[in-house]
Amino acid sequence: MGSQNNFQFGPFTLFMIVIVLCGYVLTGLYITEGIETSMMLMLAWGVYTLMALTFLNVLLVGLFWSVVRKKTGMSGVRGISGNRGEQGPRGQCDVNSIQNYTIMTLTNTIDKLYKQQPGNSNVSIIDPTSHRLINNYLNTKISDMASSHQINMLVNVSMVNSVPLAQLVSYLANIWTTWFNLIYAVGGSAWFNNVYGDENGPWVNAAGSQPTATPTVTPTGTRASQPTVTGSYPTAHPTETAPLNPFIEIRKYDVYNWGLTRSFRPLKIEVCQSTINHENPDLPIKKQPQLKVIASNDYKLVSNDKNVAGGSPNISWWRANKATINNDVYYPVGDVPMAGPSDIVYNAAFKTGKTILGTMEYDVKKGSSGPGTVNGPDIQTILISGDVKAPISYQNTSNYAGEFNPGLWRPVCPQGYISLGDIASIGSNIAANNPPVCVPEKCVEPIGQDGNTIWTNGTGIIKNINGWFWTAPDDNTPQPNYSYNLMRSDTNTSTSNGSNVFYKLRPDCLNVGNNAPSTKKLEKSTAQLGIGWYGSPSKLEPKYSIFSFLGMVPEGLILHQGTGRRFYIIHYGGDDLNKFIILDYNGGTGNFDGALQVDSDTNSVIISLQDIVYTDARQQWIVNLSTQYSRTANGKKIFVLNSVYNSRTLYLGLEPTLGEAIFSTINLANPGPPYTSLSAQVLTSSVTFSFIPAVGVHTDVLDIVA
């Protein structure tokens, strides 16, 4: 309905009209004063009147418009919609809201999982006052993750790809569900109700009894007559099984490292080497040392036989302390025994010389009395780094292992690995905090002689090739032919039964290749979110990688099927998930920074040693998994690479006379000369590649682009 404005003609309006007319007349008389002729007077009044009417007309039009513009009629028929405008930037949560939402969700997830466990009767582990979990480690870990640079960085990435924050936090909640189940299986409810429970274990409840569920690993080939203890935290009795440390699995996840400071994150990318010539088939590097060895006599007391009746002579056991040198971690491989009179074994097993650790020598304050106040005897053993693995369990080689009695154990190693020496324990601490490691079987050889018995209690023996330690080499060095002063133990007190073999390391496993190029470091953006190249890259499962959630392949390594040549590929950094830069080794810089680039004039391919131009289509390539040449072989996807610049396929062959690599692009639909003379097998191998992920995500997550 329209509005009405009625004009009221009142006294004030009449008065104003009279005033205006008077003004009009007076002004006209003033203007025409002095005009004497009637003709000029009439003309002057005519012009003056027209001017007055013009001003009056302007005034009336203004008044009319002021009334009309406010009038409204009935709504008409709606017209056609116009074009949609550009969408504005999406709103973003601030840091505090992201952190609070993440903490709340993960805390409630853990509490809900705890309530669902049998016997918990829906009891909450959230403190009603602080609204935090009882376990401080969980609170700290969740808070560090929620406030980390990685999660804020990932939220921005997620928003670009239209992935809501809730979906990211749901992904983290699913991982925490897996972690909860791992921890609860071995720590039970006691760990979650322990304010000070953390990663160190041991994984038993406060009363000292076994958790409700205990994973057990029994390796093949173990003697049935001997008990087997599994995992990293053994129990007090040799017939009981010890739970595996759940954090061994938890630490494999990228998100475990979120929020950790640099000193607590892996500083060195570890590469597992395991071929006959110690050349890793997954990485473009030459020979590397499979094992690195240093000498050490920096020990910590493990146990002694003070509480064992009948032992002769007296004995104590020492384990070399783990050491980190130039980012390489060196581990012990067994315990060193000290046998002899009690005044030497128990009270005076300290150094008369310097402490040795690799090439370092230093003095340590001598203890006055009692074991454990010094860092062990002068005699040395070895620490080892490189291709080593932790034992999967420990086999009891003694007939006793009480709370205050020493136990003797042999590490049970993963398939293909072997232990160099046995270890001792006191009570339940078999290998806590400083466990020994296993070495590849192919890297050892038997010494060819049985050890000398240095201790027995009538039911068990300990052997060492040195026999008595004061008959060891004068310089106390860990000689290979003395099995590095390590020991073997057995319940069989007779001559060796064949299982107590002493070994030494093969020299070929300790050699270093010359001029080996380093592997490529992860791109900065990749390394901030994920670990990458952790262990053997081909064995890093996608479930551990954050890039599985993002559905992208940030970088990796490709292997050419025809020539065996290896390249790195990195994502170009834009919105297209399937677009990469191919990098070759640059001998001038010692890095992988030479980019494969299409020559726009000849359609050949060159290795550009200039700066990488990520936006240059000549340097961009697409992984094509949908051609007739693509296939799956030995569990790996085989694919071709298409140039973004000319859509042609990357071809790599060998120059017939020189054997050097030649690069070009080829139209597979119409190859043309000289490719028409190639057999189908040669052509296929010349254009196909396989992929090895740097962060565990394979090419099958990519959109297939022809």
Q: What does the pLDDT average to over 338-343?
A: 74
pTM, full prediction: 0.47
Q: Name which of 368-377, 482-491, 687-696 the model is least confident about.
A: 368-377
Cα–Cα distance, 655 to 261 (Å, whole number): 50
pLDDT tens across 451-487, in order?
Answer: 666 666 655 566 654 444 433 445 678 888 888 988 8
Classify each residue of 519-544 as buried b or exposed e, where b means 16 or more C-beta atoms within 10 Å of its C-beta.
bbebbeebbebbbbbbebbbebeeeb
pLDDT tens across 197-249, in order?
Answer: 888 765 543 333 333 333 333 333 332 333 333 333 333 333 344 457 888 88
Which of 572, 567, 570 is closest to 605 using CA atoms? 567
Residue 55 identity: F
| Eight-class DSSP state of 470 | G
Look over the chain and give the mean of its residue pLDDT values, rounded to a whole number. Answer: 74
Q: Is the pLDDT of residue 402 over 60?
A: no
Residues 6 or more apart whose Cβ sits within 8 Å of residue 594: 583, 584, 585, 586, 607, 608, 609
For 267-322, give the DSSP string: -S------STTS--TTSS-----SEEEEEE--EEEEEE-TT-TT-BSEEEEEEEPP
Q: Is the pLDDT of residue 4 over 70?
A: no
pLDDT value of residue 540: 54
pLDDT value of residue 527: 64
Which of 482, 421, 543, 530 is closest to 171 using CA atoms? 543
Distance of CA 187 to the CA centre of its chain: 25
Cα–Cα distance, 279 to 283 (Å, whole number): 8
Q: Is the pLDDT of residue 613 over 80?
A: yes
pLDDT tens across 68-109, in order?
Answer: 887 877 787 888 888 888 776 655 556 578 888 999 999 999
> Could you give the C-alpha distances from 84 to 90, 241, 378, 396, 589, in angstroms and in order?
17, 68, 83, 76, 52
Which of 154, 132, 131, 128 is closest to 141 using CA atoms? 132
Which of 595, 603, 596 is closest to 667 using CA atoms? 603
Q: Would you say 203 and 209 are in contact if contact means Cβ atoms under 8 Å apart?
A: no
Q: Would you say 630 and 624 are in contact if contact means Cβ atoms under 8 Å apart?
A: yes
pLDDT band at 512 (very low <50, low <70, confident <90, very high): low
Q: Name which of 332-336, 358-362, 405-409 the model is least confident about.
A: 405-409
pLDDT band at 25 (very low <50, low <70, confident <90, very high): confident
Cα–Cα distance, 459 to 398 (Å, whole number): 8
pLDDT tens across 306-334, in order?
Answer: 766 556 677 888 899 998 887 688 999 99
pLDDT tens across 112-171, in order?
Answer: 999 999 988 889 999 999 899 999 999 999 998 888 877 777 776 543 444 577 888 998
Q: 3-class secondary structure for 131-142?
A: CCECCHHHHHHH
